[in-house]
Amino acid sequence: MTGKKPQRSTFHKRLDHMIATLRNQIVSGNYAPGEMLPSIAELGEQYGLSKNSVRKGLELLSEEELIMKLPKVGARVLHPVPERQIKIKLGCYKNIAKEAKLDALLQAFHAKYPQVEVQSFLLPYDPYHTTVKEFMDNDWLDVMTMNYSDFKLFSTDTESEYLEELDSFPGTYKFLSKLFTYNERLLAVPWIFSPVILAYNQSHFTQSGLTEPNSSWTWEDLKAAAAKLAADHGGFGFYYHMPSSNRWPIMLLQNGFVNGAENAEAEKAKFIASIEECRDLIVNQSYSPLHFSESNADVEELFARGKASMILCTYYSLNKMQSADVDYDIAPIPRRDTPATLLLTTGLAVNARSRHKHAAKLLVDFLLSEEAQLMIRKQTLSIPSLERAAEWKGVDELHRPSRFHMYREIIPTFKLMTDLGLHHRDIIAIRRELMLFWAGMEEAEAVWERVQQLLELRNPVN
């Protein structure tokens, strides 16, 4: 039984490839209206398909009114007209418009494929995966952006049946290539990514006579610099949004915590050391930082206004610095026992039940093309997943930090939330238990006891 599945999957891939290729060639003008497609036998030989399979593919193109099947003659290409326009729906995270220049990308897509209209709309972050499922159930969604955490939640909850299997894209960074797999099936393709990094105000460092952060920095180095910067400039020497699920778990990663490890006492010590370090990094400053931010965006706003000398952020958030009057650069986050930072990745997925699956795949193919990925590289500070595009060197029109390519040097330190043996919903549950501790109203030991009970109810993440 296991031997038949790959053959079936391979057959569908070949058929989908033939349909997508012919469609692209028709809509892009490679086949002019009135021109005949190759014969069924020629198409079968070219794509490794039987005559019946080729006929099924041509039937679909006929239904889309891209070709007319002529008995005993062949398939004649029709002229795509507005009446035959296909509409697909793209659901996105709210920040994608700025982080990936989505409007410009969709304009370029429409110029290339005028018969496909893309309607994009925003989906709420929380609970994103349940909203996506509801939209897909109601046929409101053909393509969607999906980060790694939401993908793990969604694919587990739905057993992947909602997402179409996709082909990998050659040239994608190797460390991204298998992130969006479930049961060895690629169900989303990585589109843009970012590690969590340190951004710092260069003017503040110069005025305070401090050397700028580098990859050797420890958290003790950061705290010493932060104290000096706060005293000299009157704001936060260092700040981050402590409750963020993409911030405080980094200390667990750096301490080597793994849920479900054999030595429970050792994991307890790592957990307690981590949450104490998270709190001590900012609560001992002259301001009460817990009252200054409701999100990572608030932290970035403080930095842009010169009210914080150092922050934890991402390449995504650097896009907001374009209009800010701040002289800044970036560095790896400081280290503890193990150099580690959290890798954030946004992928693209296709609704397996979409009525316009092939048009949806056409959009995904375009957004992962070198043309689109270079647009992201040149017009944003986000990092595209295609290595050639990400490492493009040319005349840059954006205000970009001098160490923009630093991410290449810290790839070995990239970690995922699942490296902790925790799922995203575990992180959310643990964060709820930490709120009183962060407010100074509870001891770390009491938090660990509750967290241990919570984690015992769950299996470690594979």
**For 358-368, how does the pLDDT look when each residue is reduced to its tens digit (9 = 90+)?**
889 999 999 99
Q: Judge if 256 and 200 occupy the same domain.
A: yes
The answer for residues whose C-beta is within 8 angstroms of residue 396's C-beta and 6 or more apart is: 378
Domain housing 413: 195-343+405-456
Comparing C-alpha atoms, which of 285, 312, 346, 303 is closest to residue 149? 346
Comparing C-alpha atoms, which of 159, 178, 158, 160 is closest to residue 168? 178
Q: Judge if 290 and 436 occupy the same domain.
A: yes
Q: Quick check: is 395 in a domain?
A: no
- Does the N-terminal peptide bond of residue 243 adopt cis geometry, omega within 30 degrees of 0? no
Domain boundary among 41, 61, 77: 77
Cα–Cα dist 358/353, whole Å: 11
Q: Quick check: is 397 in a domain?
A: no
Q: Judge if 131 and 221 occupy the same domain.
A: no
Q: Quick check: is 201 in a domain?
A: yes
Q: Judge if 210 and 312 occupy the same domain.
A: yes
Q: Quick check: is 418 in a domain?
A: yes
Q: Quick check: is 462 in a domain?
A: no
User: Contact 86/113 with Cβ under 8 angstroms?
Assistant: no
Q: Judge if 70 and 93 occupy the same domain.
A: no
3-state secondary structure labels for all residues of 170-207: CCECHHHCCCCEECCEECCEEEEEEEEEEEEEHHHHHH
Spans of the chain below 50 pLDDT: 1-9
User: What pLDDT shows up at residue 439?
Assistant: 84
Partners of residue 313 on adjacent β-strands: 197
Q: Judge if 223 and 285 occupy the same domain.
A: yes
Q: Judge if 63 and 91 occupy the same domain.
A: no
User: What pLDDT shows up at residue 294?
Assistant: 79
Domain boundary among 77, 95, 129: 77
Q: Quick check: is 2 in a domain?
A: no
Q: Judge if 240 and 109 occupy the same domain.
A: no
- H-helix segments, 234-356: 249-255, 264-283, 296-304, 315-318
Residue 330 sits in a domain whose CATH number is 3.40.190.10
Q: Quick check: is 125 in a domain?
A: yes
Q: Quick check: is 461 in a domain?
A: no
Burial class (CB in 10 A: 0-12, 13-18, 19+), 4: exposed
Identify the helix (H) or strand (E) that includes residue 408.
none
Domain boundary among 52, 77, 102: 77
Q: Judge if 292 and 360 occupy the same domain.
A: no
Could you give the number of structural domains in the chain?
Answer: 3
Q: Judge if 25 and 93 occupy the same domain.
A: no
User: What pLDDT shows up at residue 6?
Assistant: 38
Residue 37 sits in a domain whose CATH number is 1.10.10.10
Cα–Cα dist 426/433, whole Å: 11
Q: Judge if 207 and 324 occupy the same domain.
A: yes
Cα–Cα dist 260/48, whole Å: 48
Q: Judge if 221 and 257 occupy the same domain.
A: yes
